[in-house]
Amino acid sequence: MRKLMLLMVVMVVAILPATAAMAQSDEGQVIVVHGVPDLDVDVYVNGELTLEGFQFGDVAGPLDLPAGTYEIEIYGAGSDPAAGDPALAGSADLPAGAAATIAAYLQEGGSPTLGVFVEDNSSIAAGNARVTARHLANFGAVDVLANDSAVFSGVTNGEGGDADVPADTYNIKITAAGDAATVAFDADVPLAEGSNTIAYAIGDVAAGNFQVVSSALTGLGESPSGVPTGTAGLNAEQSPWIAVTLAGLATLALGAGAVALVRNER
């Protein structure tokens, strides 16, 4: 229970409203993914109800947030804060920096965990889009196919990758690794020019609650310097997989701080 509540303490930072007067250089973008089934909570930030009934499958962001420290109290969904102490209380220090996803998700085997993933928000060549896939579901290794061609192969739980491709709509399939007949997901997905579309596979295939949710980082496109020729299909070079823990966040260029959690012993 403590571990699950710890996940939600970190996740709530991404729901806080940005301060309009904060300079862009003092902000970072945060996406939050709730990938743990059967866990609903209410979250109070600086004494105010900020997130009510945050549920499995919810995605918040990307949000531009000012750097700062926030006081957080966590209660079970629908609980009356006046009736007792919070299940967990603490503070979270949000650094300025690049884009990141904070995700609560199921490891293979079903145990919940926290992942912090740095997203690629570098510029994208004119005419191209970026696609990022993250395997955050209780399932074995998977292949990700676009128009029936493998883009990412043998992706295990907690891993992800990205590729720059010509902007278009692609048929995306997620299958068991090496087994194209076992399809967990099949849909047409538009990839917009100048955007990084990030798809998260979450849930539990065996339990019947597997799903794919997504978010996008926009405004990444370069101005064209000529007539782009492009390439057919998804043959772009893939970047290395990125999967990091909370402790490694500061080393991955998210700014001069790291998310800090302090349990309030009452």
Domains of the chain, by residue range, sit at: 2-107+246-252, 123-217
For residue 51, CA distances in Å to 76, 89, 116 come to 12, 15, 20
What string of DSSP letters covers 112-126?
EEEEEEE---S-B-T
Do residues 151 and 144 touch, judged by C-beta distance below 8 A?
yes
Please report, in tens digits, the pLDDT of each residue of the chain (266 residues total): 444 444 444 444 444 443 333 334 477 777 878 888 988 877 676 787 877 887 899 998 887 777 656 566 657 789 899 998 875 555 555 566 667 787 778 999 998 877 778 889 899 999 999 999 999 999 999 999 999 998 889 999 999 989 999 999 999 999 999 998 999 999 999 999 999 999 999 999 999 999 999 999 999 998 765 544 433 333 333 333 222 222 232 222 233 233 322 233 33
Residue 30 dihedral angles phi and psi, to the nearest 5°: -130, 135
SS (H, E, C) the chain: CHHHHHHHHHHHHHHCCCCCCCCHHHEEEEEEEEECCCCCEEEEECCEEEEEEECCCCEEEEEEEECEEEEEEEEECCCCHHHCCCCEEEEEEECCCCCEEEEEEECCCCCEEEEEEECCCCCECCCEEEEEEEEEEECCCEEEEECCEEEEEEECCCCEEEEEEECEEEEEEEEECCEEEEEEEEEEEEECCCCEEEEEEEEECCCCCCEEEEEEECCCECCCCCCCCCCCCCCCCECCCCCECHHHHHHHCCCCCCCCCCCCCC
Q: What one-letter code names the amino acid at 101? A: T
* Residue 244: per-residue pLDDT: 28
**Residue 84 DSSP symbol:** S
Pick the CATH number of 123-217 from 3.30.420, 2.60.40, 1.10.3470, 3.30.200: 2.60.40
Q: What one-letter code names the amino acid at 166? A: P
* Residue 108: per-residue pLDDT: 94
Nearest to 213 by CA among 36, 11, 57, 37: 57
State pTM to two decimals: 0.70
d(CA 174, CA 121): 24
